[in-house]
Amino acid sequence: MDYEHDIFISHASEDKDFVRPLAEKLQNKGYRVWYDEFSLTVGDNLSESINKGLSESRFGIIVISPNFMSKSWPKSELEGLVQKEINFGKVILPIWRNVSHQEVLKFSPIIAGKLASNTSKGLDKVVDDIIAALIKAGVNSNYINKPKENPSLKLQTFDFQTVKLSVERDSSGKSIIKSNFYEHQANYFVEDLGFGVKLEMVEIPGGTFLMGAYESEKESKDSERPVHHVTVPTFFMGKYAITQEQWDRVVNSCPPVNRQLKPRPSYFMGNDRLPVENISWYDAVEFCARLSQKTSRNYRLPSEAEWEYACRAGTTTPFYFGDTITDEVANYDATYVYGNGSKGNYREQTTPIGSFPPNYFGLYDMHGNLWEWCLDDWHENYEGAPTDGTPWFDNNDDLFQKQGYAVLRGGSWNYYPVHCRSAYRTYYVRAGRDNIYYRNGFRVVCAVGRSLQ
């Protein structure tokens, strides 16, 4: 029998301070967990939802505590789990919290003879004990829906043209911006998301680069300094920002990992190839978690260093196409100029992915269109920043527990050209006012220790 959930957690509401982080850690390990705060939505019938959760879960975890044993309902829920264990091979894993063996024995002789863990050991040890108990009970990969080690990748090659802008003077001394095009190739692989929807992931070869901007760069900021060397391992990055059809496909085909997502959250609609926007950092992280489960690869947001390295693609100029920017190579508020640039159109909305030439790695729209979320906590400058390409977190690397501000990169359709520079960085609260998010989107990365076929 196939089960909708791997684990059902039964507990008293007074124990949520322990149960919530327990459920989150089990989810982060790849388990599909039925837990009321994650699984119930407004309007659900509590009793029916619990019975449904019980029937659709292979394993039951019961947090036995004085709070739990004082309730009137645990007996029936417990009996239901025991009967399912007998009839259908389910497994009950009790966790004792602030109770003695005699108290549990008096409450339920059956439960007293079972023990997955004791919370006095600490949360991490409890999680390890639960996983060990599940494995001992015969759990294997057929029952645990967690991302596996990245499977083999079938790489393909695509050809593309990049553009380099140069500023020249005509006979009258007026500046003229010329576009010079160059042929390039890049490796990539394709994820099939179903119903004809594809996700193209471009190989970004590892290397060392100078991150940030010197004071000599026009309109650069102190937050972009000190300039420092960063060595980035090879990884794969989305050829484009995540589109509305990709978002819709993943959201509608994958169960929630940590939060609910809207299938169609974007402010600008009418074209499936428009990038998805109007989403928070938490929404983007949830999307990556679902995509990881769907594909059995490890997808996430890029670190800030990975993003800038991928954007620059070996260049040191303010933009990957040179020292200036025009509305022919990016989507931004072109009524403003940067350097020797010229005024252009302000489109006042996002443009479909791939509307402008890519950079030398084969990535599109890294300048303008939408701000792109990065994993990192915001820092005022680069003092003490990592030099190995990893995300810069202050003290908590549990993504589902992150608070505060996250980094945004790349500029947006309604921002000035200076904000589109490769080195420009800003921030926004991870969860805030929804009406601001129509400026924010994201692309995914896949860091793989891979075998190729």
Which residues are designated catalytic? 77
Phi-psi region of 199 (alpha: psi -120 to 50; beta: other; left: phi over 0): beta
Alpha carbon distances (Å) from 441 to 17, 277, 410: 33, 5, 10
Packing angle, helices 74-88 and 46-55, rounded to 10: 20
Residues 6+ positions from 190 with CB-CB distance below 8 Å: 156, 198, 199, 200, 201
What is the distance between the alpha carbons of residues 157 and 162, in angstroms, rounded to a whole number? 16
Tokens 């894993």, located at residue: 93
Residue 17 tokens, joined: 């301070």
What is the distance between the alpha carbons of residues 408 and 440, in angstroms, rounded to a whole number? 8
Per-residue buried b or exposed e for 280-317, using 16+ beta carbons within 10 Å of the residue's own CB: bbbbbbbbbbbbbbbbebbbbbbbbbbbbbbbbbebeb
Q: Is residue 346 a contact partner of residue 334, using CB atoms and an 8 Å limit?
A: yes
* Strand (E) or helix (H) holding 94: strand 91-96
Q: Is residue 308 a contact partner of residue 211, using CB atoms and an 8 Å limit?
A: yes
